[in-house]
Amino acid sequence: VDRGVKGAKPGVNGLYVLSNTDAVAVLVELAFIDHAGDAQLLGTQQDEFARAIARGVTDYEGEC
């Protein structure tokens, strides 16, 4: 489920990598490793996760 984009607020929500870099950055949350169902997906569906991330990047690039 896509929960949308959450903006980084430097010094407020701890997204140091996003707010303290000169490079373009994105934070991708795939699943929760402490949830049994999610942990299983992370262990067996790496290719699908990678394709979804790559598709998101290329879709974004296509909008620029």
pLDDT of residue 46: 93
- In the chain, where the domains are located: 16-63
How far is residue 1's CA from residue 24's CA, in Å, rounded to a whole number?
24
Please tell me the pTM assigned to this model.
0.59
How far is residue 62's CA from residue 47's CA, in Å, rounded to a whole number?
22
**Residue-wise pLDDT tens digits, 3-45:** 787 776 666 766 677 667 787 777 788 888 888 998 899 999 9
Torsion of CA 7, 28, 53, 60, to 10 degrees: 10
CA atoms within 13 A on the CB side of 43: 8
At 54, the pLDDT band (50, 70, 90 cuts) reads: very high
